[in-house]
Amino acid sequence: GCVFLVSVVEQLAQWHNSTVKAAMERLCNYIPGKYQIMRHIIDREMNADVVCHSLKLCKEDPGQPLCHLYPLPKREKHSPGLFYAPAHSSHICYFDCFCLIASLGKKNFTGFSNICSFPLLANLCEKIKYIIRNKLPFEDFDGDKFSTFPTLRGYHWRGRDCDDKNSTMYPGRRPDNWDVKSDSNCNGIWGVDPKDGIPYEEKFCKGAGSQGVVLLGDSAGAHFHIPPEWMTVTQMSVKSFANLLMVLADEIDWPQFSEITGFLNSTIGGWTDSLYLRLRKRNRCNHRDLQNISQNGMLTAYLSFSLARNQLLDNPAIVVYATIGNDVCNGKRDTLAHMTTPKEMFSNVVQTLQYLDSRLPNGSHVILTGLVDGRFLWDNLHDRYHPLGQLNRDVTYSQMFSFFNCLQVSPCGGWLTSNETLRNLTSERALQLSNVLKEIARSEKFANFDIFYMDFPLSQTAEEWRKMGGEPWQLIEPVDGFHPNQIAAALGTSITWQKVLHEWPQVLGKENPFNDQIEAIFKDQGGH
């Protein structure tokens, strides 16, 4: 974190032809609000690795390799170590602004070891940890697992609650008495048609096969995205950080634009196309019936059982089970030893499916998605410049991947590596785990849902993008070099939809013939 921050500050100074101090002030002005956290400035030109080691925010552990992003500096005579603070240099500390990443990286920051140790914040911190761990809304007054608040696992992740003081009103339930008096399922359809006295819900949604969509996934499903303008000084401005707090409150994920549950127009490039939007277009009665139960770093062994579904009261659902990489991805030096085995995969998935069978209403569907072949990442990125290296053409993805691997924080040491043998072995294990999923879909039977398997459509997505004039590297998140980006998500939705529509049409249900009438009434009433 320190290396990234110092790199940005130094590049800001270079781009705007200013001092480092002025560049730090500029960065502070970009950040919304004022954060009373120490800021360090080094009054000497040194690369980011040297600065961070000089400030003791980074260190070299005994017996461990020296991790660095930039080329190593030359040792001077009698220097205490490879990275040192020259005797004639100094650092100036300011308390009026901001050095968030650096201070968070320093565990023993003077007078501040852990913000959650403060008595007034302890309970709040515990609640936030709980909701992140269990993937439940922070603000949910009636306890129905739906919220009127967007972030902190609110309606960016699950359909928006229409009454957070009434636990019998929430997205996805079957209408209560055809919603004559209130919108019990939050789909916007309620009341009685004055022309014939028939409830709108009964007229338009009875027998329409209403169903929701649920995603059980990892960071790709949660749609992890770090805005590249946060690290690209030529694009950086006040607007770059305008939504910083929202991004942090959503765990640096953007589920509202994601491939399975996206529902808002994308503001991070590309366009939004999702399974939810297509189901909603097919049947307007499905409005708001979505749940994204994904988490960064999620493995099949740790899928949280936080599904909001009642077998007696709610509509069926399509559940997409997609942990596409984390069972083979870790940052350990002996990465192969820490990958999920086929036996473990079978046990983890069957356990989750048994849980779903106890919660999903009859008539639901489950789609198991195979693991991705992550060799695509190295093949298309390794010799390209990372956003942090674009100004001076000095940091490639290969260097970034090596830096992460050295620190043992790589999102996937098996694929993000120059070791071709290791990349191939990782893909071999991913294929083995995908075959486990395929066999489960073929042989296992459940009472309340049927089950299908599909490969992760990476190669088809890349081919579609080529036909549109694009290049494969443009489908990968530029900052982390690991996740599918917004374009990949939208194209993936189209490919998935076509496969399901042609091979398993029963999953999607029939098209509601009253969709146009529903929309017309909404427009007449001034709604959307």
Q: Report which secondary-structure segment, H or E, holds 364.
A: strand 364-369
8 Å CB contact between 222 and 296: yes
> Which one from 219, 240, 294, 398 is the annotated catalytic residue?
219
8 Å CB contact between 380 and 398: no
Handedness of CA 416, 419, 422, 426 (dihedral sign): positive
Distance CA 295, CA 278 (A): 23
Alpha-helix runs per DSSP H in 243-393: 244-249, 275-282, 342-359, 375-381
Q: Return the axis-axis angle of helices 342-359 and 420-443, rounded to nearest 10°.
A: 40
Strand order in the sheet with 317-322: 290-294, 212-217, 317-322, 364-369, 449-454
- Phi and psi at residue 291, to the nearest 5°: -145, 125
Strands 364-369 and 449-454: parallel
Distance CA 380, CA 375 (A): 9
Distance CA 14, CA 131 (A): 42
8 Å CB contact between 176 and 201: no
Q: Indicate the DSSP class of residue 399.
A: H
Token representation of residue 361: 């209403």
8 Å CB contact between 186 and 288: yes
Distance CA 165, CA 160 (A): 13
Longest dimension (CA), the chain: 94
Task: Give exposure, 391-425, as e/b (b: 16+ Cβ within 10 Å).
Answer: beebbbbbbbbbbbbbeeebbbbbbbbeeeeebeb
Task: Give exposure, 97-109, as e/b (b: 16+ Cβ within 10 Å).
Answer: bbbbbbbebbeee
Contacts of 493 (CB under 8 A, 6+ apart): 259, 260, 273, 274, 275, 278
Residue 219 falls in the annotated catalytic set: yes
Reported residue count of the chain is 528
Helices (H) and strands (E) in the chain, counts: 17, 7
- Phi and psi at residue 287, to the nearest 5°: -50, 130
Query: Catalytic site residues?
Result: 219
